[in-house]
Chains A and B, each alone.
Chain A
Amino acid sequence: MIPQEISDKLKNKFGDAILESKTDGVIDPFIKVAPGKIEEIALFLRDSEDTLFDSLMCLSGIDYTKGKLGVVYHLHSMKWNHKIVLKVDVSVEDPHCQSVQSVWKTANWHEREAYDLFGIIFDGHPDLRRILLPDDWEGHPLRKDYQVPEYYNGMKVPY
């Protein structure tokens, strides 16, 4: 299915949970989704016969600056060999998003990484804790307004 058809199919089923869709152009066509509905939409995309997105290629966090964070999902279907990109916007004051860990198990560690580096909290994740940085690290480094700490546990951090 081409991205426009996938976007139409989602709009028919979910209506106004689909906020925006940009399916023309050469680079990745994406569909922007409301954060409270992403798990349902993910389940629908994985199980419905003509989309069959059974592989989550990547889940990454984004900092758009000006108080907005985001999550990007790259999906791929092994049977039909098509790809689509889903985007979710969350705000810095309330960085909650549903977890798609129950749909694709690989999202478990990807969401832990997005939490570790951006501070996006995934509701419904069974084990949301830091994965790359030490457990007692303060702050979320990949945000644009991050300040490198002077000392960590007695060790000087900057050069």
Chain B
Amino acid sequence: MGLLDQKFENGNVIITSMDYLLNWARLSSIWGMQFGLACCAIEMMATGASHYDFDRFGTFFRGTPRQSDVMIVAGTVTLKMASRIKTLFDQMSEPRYVISMGSCSNCGGPYWEHGYHVLKGVDRVIPVDVYVPGCPPRPEALMEGLMKLQEKIRAESLAKKKSA
């Protein structure tokens, strides 16, 4: 895409499609809801810290689901927490996305066999868009997950009606 200000030599008129503009605006400022549950939360904090800066993607963590675009589920999801996750996901306004970070929220992780209290994968209660594997995933992996979500948003079309 390039930097915007170097694109216009004379005049401030751009011609693009509405989809492209809207999607570019949305993917460049994905506000995430911080939902660190367990050890993956530490890696999410490391991604947000200065070494592997998350802020340069336009992301910063909001405390409430009402103001966020993406919910990064980082950590083990227990059955006790799963009903709360459903409530919080319902409180997010569309368009909303979910990144499942780490093995525990992808598929139950190391607790898949004997964990009687663990929900084997957060996709049993909410729809997930991007799965980031790892235990815990490195900060670079989480950033790649966010970039994949950005590509997914780039390919979307808000102007056309979604089929029900």
Alpha-carbon separation in the docked complex, A148 to B119 (Å):
13
Choose one: B79, B107, B116; the contact of A153 (CB below 8 Å). B79
Interface size class of A (residues with CB under 8 A): 10 to 19
Number of interface residues of B (CB under 8 A): 14
Alpha-carbon separation in the docked complex, A158 to B118 (Å):
9
Residues of A within 8 A of B108 (CB): 159
- A95 sits at the interface (CB 8 A): no
The distance from the CB of B122 to the nearest CB of chain A, in whole angstroms, is 11
Alpha-carbon separation in the docked complex, A103 to B116 (Å):
34
The distance from the CB of A51 to the nearest CB of chain B, in whole angstroms, is 39
Residue pair A155, B125 in contact (C-beta under 8 Å): yes
The 4 closest A-B pairs by CB, nearest first: A134-B80, A148-B116, A159-B112, A159-B120
Residue pair A155, B112 in contact (C-beta under 8 Å): no
Residue pair B83, A133 in contact (C-beta under 8 Å): no
Residues 66-116 (chain B) with a chain A CB within 8 angstroms? 79-80, 82-83, 107-108, 112-113, 116
CB-nearest residue of chain A to B121:
A159
Residue pair B79, A155 in contact (C-beta under 8 Å): yes
Alpha-carbon separation in the docked complex, A96 to B124 (Å):
39
Residues of A within 8 A of B113 (CB): 159
Question: A119-159 toward B: CB 8 Å interface, digit per residue (1/0)?
Answer: 00000000000001110000001000010110011011111
Residues of A within 8 A of B124 (CB): 155-156
B contact residues vs A (CB 8 Å cutoff): 79-80, 82-83, 107-108, 112-113, 116-117, 119-120, 124-125
The distance from the CB of B125 to the nearest CB of chain A, in whole angstroms, is 6
A contact residues vs B (CB 8 Å cutoff): 132-134, 141, 146, 148-149, 152-153, 155-159
Residue pair A155, B116 in contact (C-beta under 8 Å): no
Residue pair A157, B83 in contact (C-beta under 8 Å): no
Residue pair A152, B79 in contact (C-beta under 8 Å): yes
Residue pair B112, A134 in contact (C-beta under 8 Å): no
Residues of A within 8 A of B80 (CB): 133-134
